[in-house]
Amino acid sequence: MSAEHLVIPLADLTAVPYLDAEGMLPQQFAGKIGAYAIFSENQTLQYVGYSRDIYLSLKQHLVRQPRLCYWLKVQTIDRPNRSLLEEMRHTWIQSNGAPVPGNQTDQQQWEQAIDVKAAMTAEERAQHQNPELDERSQVKILKTVARRLESEILEILNQRGLQESLRFNPKLKETGFLDLK
């Protein structure tokens, strides 16, 4: 077995801050292939994933779960190898000794665009479901909710000192979803 196929135990990897002192994501993972584990502020494992571009994936997770992304551990590989990446993820999850919420009950919040309908207030929901509303007005309500949610996410991240440039996909807002472009 080559070094390329060796899964490093999660406990043996060094924790890296999700945001550095300058408020930036770890640039060393831009364009890198590998598995990563995301930890909360108190270093509780929240999610284990893998990606062809770890940096871009970390950016998406930060927007989707801004209150849970504080630390990470990463193992990179040289070439895409899905079975190895899945083995890394499986091994790390199993070694945790407790369920990993982002890989079980909360998986959709980590891996899918944010559904803004779930964040609607009762008033917004009533307006959106009004049968007299035309499609254009419904889209306008979705975009308003998406902008509010985007603003709340950015405020949380600004309080954490984020300096990273984030650009949300404007077309997704019209469909009731929020994600980075």
Answer whether residue 71 shows pLDDT above 60. Answer: yes
The alpha carbon of 75 is separated from its chain's Cα centroid by a whole number of angstroms, namely 18
Answer whether residue 172 shows pLDDT above 50. Answer: yes
Q: What is the pLDDT of residue 37?
A: 98
* Average pLDDT of the segment spanning 87-106: 95
Q: How far apart are CA 153 and CA 38, in angstroms?
A: 18
Note if the pTM is more than 0.85.
yes
Domain ranges of the chain: 3-110, 114-178
Answer whether residue 51 shows pLDDT above 70. Answer: yes
Q: What is the pLDDT of residue 133?
A: 87
Answer whether residue 1 shows pLDDT above 90. Answer: no
Looking at domain 3-110, does it have CATH number 3.30.2390? no
* Average pLDDT of the segment spanning 71-92: 96
